[in-house]
Structure 1
């Protein structure tokens, strides 16, 4: 009786290796995380979410802990996986702290195109100092659309996203809107890059 043929057991764990996932140049190519994988192809298109505070770049404020950045892995060279920024979001729980009685909350969602042709969906919230009329709300919405599109058209994607994330855009919009009524706060609560896949 022939003996059973022995099969070699492959330790899949030994086939895996660590990959360093890095942020794009806008965030100084800092390491976002490390991922263990047996095949670099499994990394492509994975989404990595990190807070601005974790990256340790830019504003050292409470807001940085509640500002989350979304990155997509787009390329792997050796053991380094590079990413592209695809959007950001401010935690809803943080924004709720500003939503108090006696104020008007105006939400606006609009699609804009940057100077280099990248389409971005921008979701904003405007909080007024006191309750305002429907006519004032309409004026605010119109100004938000006009100003946002105007700013986006003058900047490339990375520059525009930098302004959204670090608050420069909100400051510009605040200065424009305070000409209409007293404004308490302006925040870009979320941004999403329109992605095209082959």
Structure 2
């Protein structure tokens, strides 16, 4: 009998919970990210949802890009999020590395026009080996571009251009003048100062 009562309490506890539909920020057209369950709306704040850019955009050539969003607003049974970071899959990165070439990584802490900070890791894959001087020049070019681009855009604008490949394409055009370059990828990012949650 005791077991039955405990089971009953568990069922009642489950029924008391509600499902909340979670959506991406407006810059990503409020794409549906999934659902999360909670007994109180306040407990949904701060939860992190993960998906791929391919699933969000229905462009499955972008399945290699993992996206992370944090809930910062709840209205009714809907929860809205802020972008907190992305990363390309390790399999994709491994496939990009070739023998007798250089992989040049650059990590930049940038500030956007609206005062938010984001750490951006960009990788340049060359066609053949670059010497130390060329690698230094490429890193400086990437750093200068990221800092300038962030300064002229809001956080949301910068994030969208970053994950959709606009920034990589622009950087590629610049660094290929320094050394023959096969590809440039922004492989990882992390928002340092997330948007403060709306009072609740």
How far off is 1:61 after superposition?
5.2
Please report the TM-score for the alignment, with normalisation by the length of structure 2.
Answer: 0.89
Contact 2:69-2:83 within 8 A present in 1 as well: yes
Inter-partner Cα distance in structure 2 for 1:81 and 1:132: 47
Q: Distance in 1 between matches of 2:107 and 2:35?
A: 34
Number of matched pairs: 188
Q: Paired residue for 2:13?
A: 12
Q: TM-score, normalization: structure 1? A: 0.90
Is the alpha carbon distance of 1:177 and 1:156 closer, same or farther for their aligned partners in structure 2, counting shifts above 3 Å?
Answer: same
Structure 1 residues 14-29: aligned runs within 5 Å: 14-29=15-30
The separation in 2 between residues aligned to 1:118 and 1:20, in whole angstroms, is 27
Which runs of structure 1 show a deviation greater than 4 angstroms over 4 or more consecutive aligned residues?
none
Which SS does the other structure have where 2:170 is aligned?
Answer: helix
**Residue 177 in 1 paired to residue 139 in 2?**
no
CA distance in 2, matches of 1:97, 1:14: 47
Match of 1:189 among 168, 187, 190: 187
Structure 1 gaps, min length 5? 1-6
1:150-177 residue CA offsets vs partner (Å, 9 max, x unmatched): 1111111111111110000001000010
Give unpaired runs (5+ residues) of structure 2: none
> Greater CA radius of gyration, 1 or 2?
1
Residue equivalent to 1:32: 33
Determine the C-alpha separation between the residues in 1 that align with 2:35 and 2:145: 40
RMSD of the TM alignment (CA)?
1.7
What is the CA–CA distance in structure 1 between the aligned matches of 2:136 and 2:187, rounded to whole Å? 20
Residue 195 of structure 1: how far off its partner (Å): 2.3
Give the number of the structure whose residues are more often helix, by fraction: 2
Please give the alpha-carbon distance, in whole angstroms, between the structure 2 residues aligned to 1:13 and 1:147: 51
Superposition pairs of residues 45-194 of structure 1, within 5 angstroms: 45-56=46-57, 60=59, 62=61, 64-194=62-192
